[in-house]
Amino acid sequence: MDSISQQNPLPASILCIIATEFCERFSFCGLRTILSLYLRNELHLSENSSTMVYHIFIMICYILPIVGAICADSFLGRYRTIFYFSIVYLIGNIIMVITAIPIFDLNPITMTVLGLALISIGTGGAKPCLAAFGGDQFYLPMQKIQLQQFFSIFYFSINLGGFVGMIITPIMRKAITCFGDDTCYALGFGFPAVLIFLSLLIFVMGKQWYRLKTPKGNVVLEFAHCTSYAIVKNIKKPKITTGNHWLDSAKDRFGGKLIYDMKIVFAVLFLYTPLPLFWSLFDQQGSRWTFQASKMRDTFLGLQILPDQMQVVNPAFVLIFIPLFDRILYPYLEKMRFLENPLHRMAVGGLIAGVAFLSAGLLELFLQQDSPYQPGRHTSAINFINTLPCDITMDNPFGPPVQLNASDRYVFVNIPAEDKTEYNVTIETDNSQCGDIHFMKPKYVVKVVAVEYQTDTILIGTNGRDEIADYITDPIDFMMSMSERPKIRIAFIRTSPFLYNITVILRGTNGLVDTYYLGEEPKDLSVSQYIELVHGGYDCMVLSNQQTLFSQTFHLALGGVYSLVFRERHGVIEFGKLYTISPPNNVSIMWLIPQYFLISIAEIMFGIAGLEFSFTQAPKSMKTVTIAAWYLSVAIGNLIVIVVTQLDMFKNQAFEFFFFAILIVADMMIFTIMASQYTFVQLEADSSVALFDDNASEKEALT
């Protein structure tokens, strides 16, 4: 066995397993990165609904490892389980690609659900097996050090695959246009499909080097029978004996080795109970944190950084930090007798995750400072725009008189409103002459109806008789577009009866042209619906019966909400101006770096230590089941996010981040107490050998 302990820690079998994991993580993380935006932007689900669907998908991906573990440890063995579930995985990816191609005219929601379901089955079934299958390639305890190195490299490959996938997949989605859209989700999903095919191919090619093991009996079934038998027996005839475990009551029917192994498993599972909360924080990178990124300025040093692409920061940090932690930090801490075992590292990682969410909450509060005022209960707001060529004074019941300069905008906020409340606002010019307009009556009363929760816009202009007039548009929609593209609404005041076929043409610097018709019949006020455009520069032209009345150039920024207001008089557009109703994204997306830095450190300390703990503390016969239970904690963590989202407890997203930060601190305190009472078990000697006969039979089955 000495020769075994000295052999290459990375034989060909391990290289194939690591390459397989790299490709699978590339595929999965790439798809997951663009999924929440696909649900929101293409399937038009709300942010809460997109968050819910995203986390349901992740939750199922981490519930189904239990099924994969049962298949691997009780029926198929780990190799066959990985192979069969990977085929299902590939089919799910293909369905996602086909669904994103509009020419097939499929029901996108139904097919997306089907594709995600198959992907969750495939990745969930294979997930607990690959790490355990890699562990099977080592002889224990002689290769304990090599096993620890394997888990670090394995986790490194997970993050390297995720890193590359998170960079390339959003680029594929955004950089290439297809099917008449400025995004290409078909290609975004297609690249992950190619990678999962490559993953399956590499895994099968390495079969000649694998050390294969077959299940020794139906361990999971025996585990369930023994557990239920012990529970029933303890209920019927409880025996209070100091020092006895509740499983000891099953010794009359089940072997001592099984019961001993089960005691270890239950001790490990008990430690898992506080862990789901960590994953509820960690997996919000793909939902809440991505939506947070979409509210920020997406350019840095002249480069555009897509909101979903920011998730790549996490695996990038992990790739950098893993060698530093393994070679420098952990050896130093061990010398200081600090963080000596995986449970200690997990507790500290959980606390650091709480600090990451504190950072996210503070950033969210900062982002909200740029948000426009939005009325709440029993309040309203009125937005006045002066399209006249002179200043006006507004004598109002809300406060002192307000002077509104020509072409300016003013918003009255916190107006008391009980459903609908009427007010009078008096508009007056300094004299009867307003530019080249002569008013016989320079004073005008506007009847304002304040509606609870609503912000209305009143345009001050003239009518066909050169009198002051007001025009009320539909309420302002301050919400960003689902895709964070700028939104614009066109309002056209028309006083001449002979203008027909008013057309507004917006020609972008990117070559896209949008044309809007404001009606064939003359109207005092024509208002378009909110229009989503690609951010950038635009040349605006207003035509009537193919005659150009107005031209102007302006810029629309990502996330902004705009109103483009025109006023026509005597066949001439005397006024045209773009108003920023809701400011665009002004905070740099790079301010997300601190929270990603913290969550990455948390992942290294929590994730790698937890995976190592799950494998090394589990009995040989139940390693896959134990790792599956570890993944189940991830599923429960996503369920927590779904519950919190659906309860809608927080109207302010920052408060929701703070809530999770407080929860994880309390949770890790409980975990620390539980961990202090855990007794570590020694690694079992590995008496198993490669089963070459079964290897041959598997080759026959697969061919």
Listed residues 582, 612, 637: the one ending a domain: 582
Question: Contacts by 570-579 with C-beta closer than 8 Å and gap 24+?
Answer: 570/495, 570/496, 571/496, 571/498, 571/499, 573/542, 573/549, 574/389, 575/387, 575/389, 575/407, 575/461, 576/540, 576/542, 576/550, 576/552, 577/387, 577/407, 578/488, 578/552, 578/554, 579/385, 579/409
Same domain (yes/no): 627, 577? no
Distance CA 274, CA 267 (A): 13
| Residues 502 and 609 placed together within one structural domain of the fold | no
Q: What does the pLDDT look like over 596-626, one tens digit per residue?
A: 999 999 998 898 888 778 777 878 767 766 7
The answer to whether residue 669 is domain-embedded is yes
Cβ atoms of 448 and 397 closer than 8 Å = no
Residues 489 and 561 in one domain: yes
Tens of pLDDT, residue by residue over 398-437, are 889 999 999 999 999 999 988 778 999 999 998 888 988 8
Based on the fold, state whether residues 15 and 46 are members of the same structural domain: yes
Tally of CB atoms within 10 A around 212: 22
Residue 655 falls within a domain, yes or no? Answer: yes
Q: Are residues 293 and 351 in the same domain?
A: yes
* Residue 1 in domain: no
Question: Nearest 5 degrees, angle CA 125-CA 126-CA 127?
Answer: 95
Q: What are phi and psi of 244, to 5 degrees?
A: -85, 140
Last residue of a domain, one of 542, 558, 582: 582
Q: Tell me what the mean pLDDT of segment 64-75 comes to.
A: 79
Q: What does the alpha-carbon distance between residue 343 and residue 348 come to, in Å, rounded to a whole number?
A: 9
Locate 209 and state its tokens: 């080097």
**pLDDT tens-place string over residues 646-703:** 887 887 889 999 999 999 999 999 999 998 888 887 755 443 333 223 333 332 222 2
Amino acid identity at 580: T
> Model confidence over 519-554: pLDDT tens digits?
655 568 888 888 888 778 899 999 887 788 889 999
- Confidence grade of residue 256 (pLDDT, cut at 50, 70, 90): confident
| Domain assignment present for 480 | yes
Helix (H) or strand (E) holding 393: strand 392-395
Name the pLDDT band for 6 (thresholds 50, 70, 90): very low
Same domain, 520 and 391: yes
Q: Is the pLDDT of residue 557 over 80?
A: yes
Non-local (6+) Cβ contacts of 677 within 8 A are none
CA distance 382 to 475: 9
CATH number of 507's domain: 2.60.40.1120
Do 41 and 164 sit in the same domain of this protein? yes
384-400 pLDDT per residue, tens: 999 999 999 999 998 89
Q: Among 203, 233, 254, which residue terminates a domain?
A: 254
Tell me how far apart the alpha carbons of residues 517 and 506 are, in angstroms, rounded to a whole number: 12
Same-domain pairing of 308 and 200: yes
The answer to whether residue 134 sits within a structural domain is yes
Q: Which domain holds residue 244?
A: 216-254
Total tally of structural domains belonging to the chain: 3
One domain for residues 211 and 320: yes
Quote the DSSP letter at residue 588. Answer: B
241 shares its domain with 312: no
**Domain holding 263: CATH number?**
1.20.1250.20
Phi, psi of 556 (to 5 degrees): -110, 125
Same domain, 262 and 324: yes
Q: Report yes or no on 540 lying in a domain.
A: yes
Radius of gyration of the CA atoms of the chain, in A? 32
With CA atoms as reference, report the closest residue to 166 among 314, 321, 294, 360.
314
Q: What is the pLDDT of residue 511?
A: 76
Rounded to whole angstroms, the Cα distance separating 628 from 640 reads: 19
Residue 430 and residue 482 in one domain: yes
Domain-located, residue 503: yes
Give the list of residues 6+ apart from residue 238 with CB closer than 8 angstroms, or none.
none
Can you give the pTM of this predicted structure?
Answer: 0.70
Is 2 part of a structural domain of the chain?
no
